[in-house]
Structure 1
Amino acid sequence: MPSGWVLPRLSKVLGLEGDKKSIIKFEFNPKDGIDNPALSLTEDTDGKGVGEPRFYLLSKGSAETFGFCLHEELGCQGHVIRQVELGGLAQRRGLQDGDRLLQVNGHFVDHMDHRRVVQKIKASGNQVLLAVLDSNSYEAAKALGRDLSQMLPADIRPRLCHITRDKSGFGFSVSGPEGIKGTFQLSVRQDGPAEKAGVPPGSWLLEVNGASVRSYSHAQLARKLKQSGSKVTLLVASSAVEEFYRLRGLRITAALADTSWLPFKVRELHMVKGPAGYGFLLKEDDCSSGATGQFLWDVDAGLPAEQAGMKEGDRLLAVNGESIEGLDHQQTVLRIRAHDDQVTLLVIDPAGDEFYQSIGLSPLLFFEDSDPPSGSCTPSLPSPSGSPGLCHIEVGPKGPGSWLVAASSSIGFTQSPCQEEQRRLHQAF
Structure 2
Amino acid sequence: MKSSTGLVEIIGLTEKFTFNPKEGIDNPVMVITDDADFVSTPSPRLRILKREEGEFYGFHLRMERGRQGHVIRNVVPGGVAGRSGLQDGDRLLEVNNCYVDDVPHPEVARKIKLSGNQLCLLVLGGEEYEQAVSQGQDIRDLARATKGEGCKPPRLCHITRDPVSGLGINFTPVEGEKGRFSVSLVPGGAAEKAGVCKGDHLVWMNGATVSDLTHSALSRMMKKCGSHITILVVNSESEKNYMQLKMPILPTMAVPHNLPYRARKLHLVSGPEGYGFLLRQEKAPLGHTYHVLREVDRGSPAESSGMQDGELLLEVNRESVESLTHEEIVDKVRLSGKQVSLTTITPQGLEFYTKLGLSPLLFCEDDEREEQSSTPASAAEQAPHKLMDGLCRHCSLQKGPFGFGFNLDCVPQSPGTFISQVALGGSGQTAGLRLGDVVVEVNGQNVEEKYLEDVIMLVKGGGHLLSLLVMDRTDYNKLKQTDTTTGDITDIKQEEENEEISSL
Q: Same fold (TM over 0.5)?
A: yes
Aligned residue number for residue 110 of structure 2: 119
> Structure 2 unaligned runs (5+)?
1-37, 368-407, 422-450, 454-504
Aligned residue number for residue 52 of structure 1: 43
2:410/2:452 contact within 8 Å kept:
no
The separation in 2 between residues aligned to 1:188 and 1:392, in whole angstroms, is: 55
Query: Is 1:341 aligned with 2:332?
Result: no
How has the CA–CA distance of structure 1 residues 253 and 293 changed in structure 2, closer, same or farther, with 3 Å as cutoff?
same
Identity among equivalent positions (%) equals 44
The Cα shift of 1:88 comes to 2.0
Matched position secondary structure for 1:259: strand
The Cα shift of 1:178 comes to 6.8
1:50/1:136 contact within 8 Å kept:
no
Aligned residue number for residue 276 of structure 2: 279
Matches within 5 A, 1:197-216: 197-216=194-213
Matched position secondary structure for 1:73: coil
The Cα shift of 1:80 comes to 0.9
Instruction: Name the structure where helix makes up a greater proportion of residues.
Output: 2
How has the CA–CA distance of structure 1 residues 329 and 80 changed in structure 2, closer, same or farther, with 3 Å as cutoff?
same
How has the CA–CA distance of structure 1 residues 367 and 109 changed in structure 2, closer, same or farther, with 3 Å as cutoff?
farther
2:93/2:124 contact within 8 Å kept:
yes
2:265/2:364 contact within 8 Å kept:
no
Matches within 5 A, 1:160-239: 160-166=156-162, 167-177=164-174, 182-239=179-236
Aligned residue number for residue 413 of structure 1: none
The separation in 2 between residues aligned to 1:342 and 1:109, in whole angstroms, is: 28
Which amino acid in structure 2 is aligned with residue 223 of structure 1?
R
Aligned residue number for residue 85 of structure 1: 76
Aligned residue number for residue 439 of structure 2: none
1:129/1:256 contact within 8 Å kept:
no
The Cα shift of 1:424 comes to 8.8
1:379/1:391 contact within 8 Å kept:
no
Matched position secondary structure for 2:255: coil
The separation in 2 between residues aligned to 1:356 and 1:177, in whole angstroms, is: 29
- CA-to-aligned-CA distance 1:123-142 (integer Å, 9 cap, x gap): 22222111112223333443
Query: Is 1:109 aligned with 2:100?
Result: yes
1:163/1:232 contact within 8 Å kept:
yes
The Cα shift of 1:260 comes to 5.1
Query: Is 1:142 aligned with 2:102?
Result: no
1:181/1:218 contact within 8 Å kept:
no
2:293/2:312 contact within 8 Å kept:
yes
1:95 corresponds, among 80, 83, 86, to 86
The Cα shift of 1:72 comes to 0.6
Aligned residue number for residue 55 of structure 2: 64
The separation in 1 between residues aligned to 2:42 and 2:190, in whole angstroms, is: 43
Aligned residue number for residue 34 of structure 1: none
The Cα shift of 1:321 comes to 1.9
The separation in 2 between residues aligned to 1:289 and 1:50, in whole angstroms, is: 56
Matches within 5 A, 1:263-274: 263-274=260-271
The separation in 2 between residues aligned to 1:129 and 1:117, in whole angstroms, is: 13
1:72/1:424 contact within 8 Å kept:
no
The separation in 1 between residues aligned to 2:188 and 2:130, in whole angstroms, is: 47
2:409/2:419 contact within 8 Å kept:
no
How has the CA–CA distance of structure 1 residues 392 and 218 changed in structure 2, closer, same or farther, with 3 Å as cutoff?
farther
The separation in 2 between residues aligned to 1:358 and 1:78, in whole angstroms, is: 36
Matches within 5 A, 1:329-408: 329-367=326-364, 378-379=412-413
Which amino acid in structure 2 is aligned with residue 163 of structure 1?
I
- CA-to-aligned-CA distance 1:282-313 (integer Å, 9 cap, x gap): 12234688532212121222211122222222
Matches within 5 A, 1:151-166: 151-152=143-144, 153=147, 155-166=151-162
The separation in 2 between residues aligned to 1:182 and 1:287, in whole angstroms, is: 39
- CA-to-aligned-CA distance 1:98-136 (integer Å, 9 cap, x gap): 211121122222222211111111122222111112223
Matched position secondary structure for 2:101: coil
Larger deviation, residues 68-77 vs 279-288 = 279-288
- CA-to-aligned-CA distance 1:60-83 (integer Å, 9 cap, x gap): 123322111101112211111112
The separation in 2 between residues aligned to 1:58 and 1:274, in whole angstroms, is: 46
The Cα shift of 1:391 comes to 11
The Cα shift of 1:185 comes to 1.0
Aligned residue number for residue 387 of structure 1: none
Query: Is 1:253 aligned with 2:253?
Result: no
The Cα shift of 1:316 comes to 1.1
How has the CA–CA distance of structure 1 residues 156 and 377 changed in structure 2, closer, same or farther, with 3 Å as cutoff?
farther
Matched position secondary structure for 2:68: strand
The separation in 1 between residues aligned to 2:125 and 2:190, in whole angstroms, is: 44
The Cα shift of 1:181 comes to 5.1
The separation in 1 between residues aligned to 2:299 and 2:284, in whole angstroms, is: 28
The Cα shift of 1:147 comes to 4.2
Give the TM-score normalised by structure 1: 0.71
Which amino acid in structure 1 is aligned with residue 281 of structure 2?
E
Mark the structure with the bigger radius of gyration.
2
1:317/1:346 contact within 8 Å kept:
yes
Matches within 5 A, 1:306-317: 306-317=303-314
Task: Kindly tell me the number of residue pairs found equivalent between the two proteins.
Answer: 341
Which amino acid in structure 1 is aligned with residue 301 of structure 2?
P
User: Which is bigger in relative contact order (C-alpha 8 A, separation at least 6)?
Assistant: 1
2:159/2:258 contact within 8 Å kept:
no
The Cα shift of 1:219 comes to 2.8
How has the CA–CA distance of structure 1 residues 218 and 63 changed in structure 2, closer, same or farther, with 3 Å as cutoff?
closer
> Structure 1 unaligned runs (5+)?
1-46, 381-389, 397-422
The Cα shift of 1:144 comes to 4.8
The separation in 2 between residues aligned to 1:287 and 1:200, in whole angstroms, is: 40
Larger deviation, residues 281-290 vs 338-347 = 281-290
The Cα shift of 1:234 comes to 0.7
Matched position secondary structure for 1:269: strand
Matched position secondary structure for 1:201: coil
